[in-house]
């Protein structure tokens, strides 16, 4: 069974994760290194004993650090996405832009999660000022 990460991104390697895990299972290494972890799906499915996970996207790094520290929990995610999803439905999608503005102002990792799951085609794109700019 493939472990699916919480963040949704265009180009995610979910369909390749089992194959990569199988290819790497007979390899010997001290530490798994992911220079471009993205959603982390490959490492989550390989499940190495030690790993170095890197990415150039500071918002993804902040998101996973918030999970690691316990700032983000399953319960908080469920409550947040349920509430924000209801607002999205009530406003026929307009609430998406409210959350996008909030994320661009405060960089809340839960807002990033909401945006990644509700934006157009799972894209993650930022303008020159670092603002998330994918439409609904």
Q: In Å, how far from its chain's centre is CA 39?
A: 5
d(CA 136, CA 118) in angstroms, rounded, equals 7
Overall fold of domain 57-136 = Adenine-specific Methyltransferase; domain 2 (1.10.1020)
Domain with CATH 1.10.1020.10 in the chain: 57-136
The pLDDT > 70 percentage for the chain reads 100
Separation of CA 93 from chain center: 21
Tens digit of each residue's pLDDT (9 = 90 or more) over 26-70: 999 999 999 999 999 999 999 999 999 999 999 999 999 999 999
Q: Do 136 and 92 meet the contact criterion of CB atoms below 8 Å apart?
A: no
């Amino acid at each position: 069974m493939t472990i699916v990460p919480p963040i949704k991104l265009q180009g995610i390697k979910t369909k390749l994760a089992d194959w990569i895990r199988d290819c790497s299972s007979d390899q010997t290494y001290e530490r798994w290194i992911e220079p471009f972890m993205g959603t982390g799906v490959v490492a989550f499915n390989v499940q190495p004993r030690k790993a170095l996970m890197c990415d150039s996207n500071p918002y993804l790094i902040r998101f996973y650090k918030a999970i690691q520290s316990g700032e983000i929990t399953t319960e908080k995610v469920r409550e947040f996405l349920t509430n924000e999803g209801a607002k999205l439905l009530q406003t026929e999608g307009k609430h998406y832009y409210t959350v996008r503005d909030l994320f661009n102002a405060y960089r809340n990792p839960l807002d990033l999660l909401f945006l990644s799951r509700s934006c157009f085609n799972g894209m993650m794109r930022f303008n020159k000022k670092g603002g998330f700019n994918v439409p609904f």
